[in-house]
Structure 1
Amino acid sequence: MTTIQTSTPSVQTQSSGSSSSAGNDLASQISRLTSQITKLTKQLKEVANGSGSVEEKKKQQELLQNQIKMLQAQLQQLQRRQAEEAQQKQDKQQAKVEGVNSPSAEHQIDIYV
């Protein structure tokens, strides 16, 4: 019979003042979650091929599937946050670019009719 580790490490997200360190932290958390999902998926396959009663296998498979679902939800949350941060960074960079059509106090025109 195959024993399954049932403790799922939770991912704690912290807002950091530095966006670059937060980006690296998110990337490492995403990588960690991905590897955990891969590991649990392998365990799920091993349970199906392993020995033991059908009832025990079903229980173990359900536990593993629930853990995988939780990790996938955390992964989606982190990826969404990473995409939002990337969008904010891109918006800041676009705001810095000054062009002819950039509205500012220096580019105002008074029109009298």
Structure 2
Amino acid sequence: MTTINVSTPSLQSSGGGSSASSGNSIAAQIAQIAEKITQLTQKLKDVPNGSGSTEDKKKQQEMIQTQIKMLQTQLAQLQRQQAEEAQQKQEQKQLRAEGVNIPSADHQIDVYI
């Protein structure tokens, strides 16, 4: 009987950390996941040429496809988070650009005519 060795990728959940420190790590995680997907896709292509019964190959392909789907889901989540952080930074830049022109309760002038 043939032994099927398939490594399970570790999934990291991204919590509510500060956006300043997680900016680079999100990009790094995205790159790592993309690399894992590429590796698993290559494994998936190599399965039909490997040894073992047709049933074993089919099970191995299904396991690899499941891993790829999980990684794609995680990748989409990280990309969405990265886009949200970029949007927040853009909004903060716009607020800073407007500067004093933003009315607030502390900066009001009463004009009597």
Q: Are 1:57 and 2:51 matched, yes or no?
A: no
User: CA distance change for structure 1 residues 108 and 48 in 2, over 3 Å: closer, same or farther?
Assistant: farther
Look up the match of 1:94.
Answer: 94
Secondary structure of the residue that 1:70 maps to in structure 2?
helix
CA contact (8 A) 1:6 1:63 kept: no
Go from structure 1 to structure 2 and tell me whether the alpha carbon gap of 1:65 and 1:103 turns closer, same or farther (over 3 Å shift): same
- Structure-1 residue corresponding to 2:77: 77
Q: Which amino acid aligns with 2:81?
A: R
Q: Distance in 1 between matches of 2:86 and 2:102?
A: 24
Return closer, same or farther for 1:83/1:53 CA change in 2, 3 Å cut-off.
same
- Cα contact 1:30–1:75 (8 A) shared by 2: yes
- TM-score (structure 2 length as normaliser): 0.81
- Report the number of matched residues: 110
TM-score by length of 1: 0.81
Q: Which residue of 2 aligns with 1:9?
A: 10
As a proportion of its length, which structure holds more helix?
2
User: Distance in 1 between the 2:71 and 2:55 partners?
Assistant: 25
Identity %: 48
